[in-house]
A and B are shown apart, each in its own frame.
Chain A
């Protein structure tokens, strides 16, 4: 779902990096939001709501709405729509609300 050619824009991308999503190895571009890399890999469900366990996806793209919270490198509640992808990142679906400590 990467846009290869665009009539108006050219996309400057970082270098290709590998990361894992729930243990599965995926590729993305360094510096793009984690959610963009997941989306490009066809991952639309980013987590589940804490009470009703309803699927949650990418909604606002600017770090406002909290729909995209995931666990990244062990840290919970990361807004993956604005958190930049780095080589070797471990991205996981968050269970529950995430502990602060």
Chain B
């Protein structure tokens, strides 16, 4: 249970997960924010209007998956680092995940790294496809990793090494 362990339940994840069909169509943001807290940078940073306006800043964010193009600008703007982009159209057997990573050393393109789930357990390997660390991201780099497709909704962190 999230309030005891920090790990969201399957039911909670189901609420924020796009349909299989949408995931297969291309990159889309998944916001794993399950608590009403006073916070709205996800909405204000979204340039496609996909994150619905938080009329009361305590509301939980909601993504219009049809409007979201998976650009990932929201990832490094989220103070809770709770946003991930998943792209199941990446290749035949791999999915692309974009995740925030504020640790050193940063991985480099081409590195193989450990793929971790929401509890920090190693569940597989990931190939680093890109490391995006622009000035606008203000020291929250976004790592693009390719993982086996069936892990696309499980992998949420990486650890250096294999």
Contacts and interface: CB of A to CB of B under 8 A. Distances in A.
Q: Do chains A and B touch in the complex (CB under 8 A)?
A: yes
Interface of A: 5-8
B109 interface: no
Contacts of A5: 104-105
Contacts of B104: 5-7
Contacts, number: 9
A7 B143 CA distance: 14
Interface residues of B, number: 5
A5 B103 CA distance: 10
Given A5-B105, A7-B103, 7 more contacts: A5-B104, A6-B104, A7-B102, A7-B104, A7-B139, A8-B102, A8-B139
Top 6 A-B pairs, shortest CB-CB distance: A7-B104, A7-B102, A8-B139, A5-B104, A7-B103, A7-B139
A6 B104 CA distance: 7
Contacts of A8: 102, 139
Contacts of A7: 102-104, 139
A7 to B, nearest CB: 5
A78 B139 CA distance: 38
Nearest to B141: A7
Q: Of residues A6, A7, A8, which shows the largest number of chain B Cβ atoms within 10 Å of its Cβ?
A: A7
B161 to A, nearest CB: 18
A73 B103 CA distance: 41
Contacts of B105: 5
Nearest to B102: A7
Interface in B102-118: 102-105
A25 B104 CA distance: 33
A8 B76 CA distance: 13
Nearest to B101: A7
Nearest to A6: B104
Contacts of B139: 7-8
Nearest to A8: B139
A30 B102 CA distance: 30
A75 B22 CA distance: 71
Interface string B65-80: 0000000000000000
B133 to A, nearest CB: 10
A8 B100 CA distance: 13
Contacts of B103: 7
